[in-house]
Chain A
Amino acid sequence: MTCHEALALLDDFVDGELDSSVAGAMRDHIEGCDSCRREYAATTRLKELLSRAPVEDPGQDYWSETTGLILARTVDTAVTPVSELSRARAGTRRGDFVRSLISLAASIAILVSAIVVGQSHHRMSIAAVGEPMLMTQSVVLQLPDDYPTLSLDSHRQNLARGMMLLGAPGHLGRIAITARMAASTDKEQ
């Protein structure tokens, strides 16, 4: 065995991983070669030194604390794979969009309802008396024909004004009716 071959096999020899026949040849070579013997001694001593390098147990307190920290970190950690996470995020985005659409539709519906209700009240008032009467038809129908305080149109207008301003038509309806009331009052005068 040459020095080159011996050095190539030195690690395996030190680690006890050579076949017995090759290991025997190595031993023979090392006994007769100062240079390879020194290299063998150095490698053996290095292994021995590294295996002695001390690492002490950091103590039970450390382990208790660290185990608790790991468990705390993993309790809230998402286990969901990234792909599922992306799908979930996409789903959330879709949900937000749908909710926005519903909110917008509801807002438009309320606005349209307010306008329609306001206009219909106004139309009903006109239909009840033939002239711009500012009172809801239902109120007119409920009043007795000989109701003494409503003998004049102005009385009816005053009653209607109070009911409209307290009632349901909403701002747009009130604005429209109030304008109509003003016009009607001017005309009467």
Chain B
Amino acid sequence: MAVSVPELIQRFVDGDQTAFAELIRRFRDKIYKIGFRMMGNHLDADEVVQETFVRVYRKRKELRDVSYFSTFLVRIATNYAIDILRKRKGHSTMDSDSSSFDLSRRVATPQEVYENKRLMEEIARALDQLPPKQKITAVLHDIEGYTKEEISAIFDCPQATVRSNLHIARTKLKKILRQRLRTKEQK
């Protein structure tokens, strides 16, 4: 039977390195996806993953008071990603090789690969034009499926702020992706 997350956290806080390795194994994929959506390339996503878990390790004493490990983890990851994006303001995070990296292992037809690659590039470019807070709100809500309540817990802000950020992000994305968003009848 698999060890529960609270039990793993307790063992991790008590200095059990194998419990920490198990926590990494369970949550790394979630953090990688958020990192990739935020940063737009594999290398930066990798940095987000590594730095997030290193910071969790350093803050492990705080974990005794953390009710939701996942929220705690995502908060660290998104804050780190936002910091990087703010520092790089004006510089695209899109890596020209990132799409090929993502799709290289996908079993798909050449047409699918091409379409996915173009879609990925368009979405990444569109997201890249948003301020970090709006971008991460859209990523978490519309891509990763977090609720507004969960996002407000991650950012420790009112739900109204999340709603506002999401609305502005969607409005901007609709403008940027208007060609993609045309329905068949509009075409």
Contacts and interface: CB of A to CB of B under 8 A. Distances in A.
Interface of A: 11-12, 15, 17, 38, 41-43, 45-47, 49-59, 62-63, 66-67, 69-71, 73-75, 77-79, 81
The 8 closest A-B pairs by CB, nearest first: A74-B57, A50-B142, A42-B181, A70-B53, A53-B123, A45-B181, A56-B102, A50-B143
Interface of B: 17, 20-21, 24-25, 28-29, 32-33, 36-37, 42, 46, 49-50, 53-54, 57-58, 60-61, 101-106, 116, 119-120, 123-124, 138, 141-143, 145, 148, 163, 166-167, 170, 173-174, 177-178, 180-181, 183, 186
5 contacts: A11-B167, A45-B183, A46-B181, A54-B119, A70-B57
B50 A43 contact: no
Contacts of B116: 54
Contacts of A54: 102-103, 106, 116, 119-120
Contact of A79 (B32, B60, B124): B60
Contacts of B104: 56
Nearest to A73: B54
A62 to B, nearest CB: 8
Chain B CB within 10 Å, residue with most, of A15, A45, A67, A69: A67
A59 B105 contact: yes
B32 A58 contact: yes
Contacts of A59: 105
A11 B138 CA distance: 12
A185 B174 CA distance: 112
A147 to B, nearest CB: 77
Give chain B's interface secondary structure class.
helix
B36 A73 contact: no
B181 A67 contact: no
Given A41-B181, A71-B24, A74-B20, 17 more contacts: A11-B170, A17-B148, A41-B183, A46-B170, A50-B173, A51-B143, A53-B143, A54-B106, A56-B102, A58-B101, A66-B50, A67-B25, A71-B17, A71-B21, A75-B17, A77-B54, A79-B60
A77 B102 contact: no
A46 B174 contact: yes
Given A46-B174, A46-B181, A50-B138, A70 B54 contact: yes
B124 to A, nearest CB: 8
B50 A53 contact: no
A49 B102 contact: no
B61 A55 contact: no
B28 A11 contact: no
A43 B32 contact: no
Given A11-B163, A77-B54, A42 B103 contact: no
A46 to B, nearest CB: 6
Contacts of A78: 58
Contact of B28 (A15, A38, A45, A63): A63
A22 B93 CA distance: 41
Contacts of B61: 79, 81
Contacts of A56: 102-106
A56 B113 CA distance: 12
B119 A53 contact: yes
Contacts of B178: 42
B61 to A, nearest CB: 7
